[in-house]
Amino acid sequence: MRLDIPAPLKAEHDELHARLVRATQEPGVLGEAAREVARLLHPHFVKEEAFGLPPLGLLSEVARGALRSEMAEVLVMTRRIKAELPAMFAEHRQIASALEVLRREARRAGRADLEEFATALQRHAETEELVLYPAAVLLGEYLARVLEEEPVL
């Protein structure tokens, strides 16, 4: 079964990535700060797009009651995100520290655009922690129960 990240989330990830790529091309300490964010963020985004966000593509179907047995395939991903939550949160803390450096350097350089970008990226991480990751985990637990799999509890 093919699982796609919901289009708005994928578009947001792509936009954040594109903005970060542009920031890494800045000269001096501003570019160095952006490159550090990119170094930390890239492997994190890869994980999210591999197993953290694709299960969310089923949410609207499941909410409508359109359950199918092949949806059980998502349980591999939802179990993995649940198991890796502590590591994902630790990565977010590292990224947040690097974003604070970027935000500070952007402020010093008078680059409100990059300061706002750092804030937007931090807000995105908070949304993941408070909404997206928990939704993926709960989706998996719900599907495990209704599709008569072993609960993930």
* Residues 33-60: tens digit of each pLDDT: 999 999 999 999 999 999 999 999 999 9
Q: Is residue 61 part of a domain?
A: no
State which residues form the domain around 36: 7-56+69-146
Residue with tokens 């450096």: 101
The yes-or-no verdict on residue 152 having pLDDT over 60 is no
Q: Is residue 125 part of a domain?
A: yes
pLDDT digits (tens, 9 = 90+) for 65-82: 999 989 999 999 999 999
Q: Is residue 117 part of a domain?
A: yes
Q: Is residue 116 part of a domain?
A: yes
CA distances from 58 to 18, 27, 71 (A): 26, 42, 8
Q: How confident is the model at residue 149 (pLDDT cuts 50, 70, 90)?
A: low
